[in-house]
Amino acid sequence: MKRVGVLSLQGDFAAHGAALERAGAEAVFVRDREQLAGLDGLVIPGGESTTMLKLLRYDGMLEALREFGRRKPVFGTCAGAILMAGRVLNPEQDSLGLMDIEVERNAYGRQLDSRVAALHPEPEFQERAGAGSLEAVFIRAPKIRRVGKGARVLARYGGDPVLVEQGPHLVATFHPELTADPRVHGLFMEKL
């Protein structure tokens, strides 16, 4: 059985743990560097990226995650996607730089900050993960403003990329851990 870490400093790590177990992995709640050893992959959950960054600066955890991402697959959702980006706007902030994407925080504005949408993922997603529309929960979501050449868009919402992969890594600006549909976590499991 694959052992997948869930960064558990802040945010909705518990829901990711449950989603990973539904997808057939053993979930390990990671709070320090030592717990990264022996994991097959890592999930960075949603929450508040600024708070997570602050907590990651203790104890060399930020650098430990960068190093982990050079060796193993990492899946970031919402705040996790912000942390994975190469560049963050609104405002600019530090990140892991694991993916060649540019992300703008809180880009849907205040009135429309949370919603549930039915996505129609790209044919490639449907071939690999299973057919049909995908229910996506957005909560104060970022927008992916630029996707580098090496990255691939697997789903869009209103024309904007919301599910993107690059090599072993995956980001979603929505929260697949909050619905019963296991396909996005299943897609990540295929990378391990």
Which entry of 16, 78, 104, 169 is annotated as an active-site residue?
78
Q: Containing H/E element for 136?
A: strand 134-139
**Helices (DSSP H) in the chain: which residue ranges?**
13-22, 49-56, 61-71, 79-84, 123-129, 183-190
Q: Does 16 bind ligand GLN (CB under 6 A)?
A: no
| 106 makes contact with ligand GLN (CB under 6 A) | yes
Question: Would you state the structure tokens that stand for residue 192, as one six-digit string?
Answer: 């391990």
Active-site annotation holds for 78: yes
Distance from C-alpha of 177 to C-alpha of 136, rounded to nearest angstrom: 10
Residue 120 falls in the annotated catalytic set: no
Q: Which stretch binds ligand GLN (CB under 6 A): 36-44, 45-53, 67-75, 164-172?
A: 45-53
- Stretch of residues binding ligand GLN (CB under 6 A), selected from 60-68, 76-84, 153-161, 164-172: 76-84
Give, for 146, the enclosing helix (H) or strand (E): strand 143-147
Q: Given candidates 98, 139, 154, 162, which one binds ligand GLN under the rule CB under 6 A?
A: 139
Q: Which of 28, 44, 56, 82 binds ligand GLN (CB under 6 A)?
A: 82
Q: Is 177 a catalytic residue?
A: yes
Please pick, from the candidates 5, 47, 69, 73, the single residue that binds ligand GLN as defined by CB under 6 A.
47
CA distance 129 to 138: 21
85-113 b/e (C-beta count within 10 Å ≥ 16 → b): bbebbeeeeebbebbbbbbbbebbeeeee
Enzyme catalytic residues? 78, 175, 177
Binding region for ligand GLN (CB under 6 A): 46-49, 78-79, 82, 105-106, 139-140
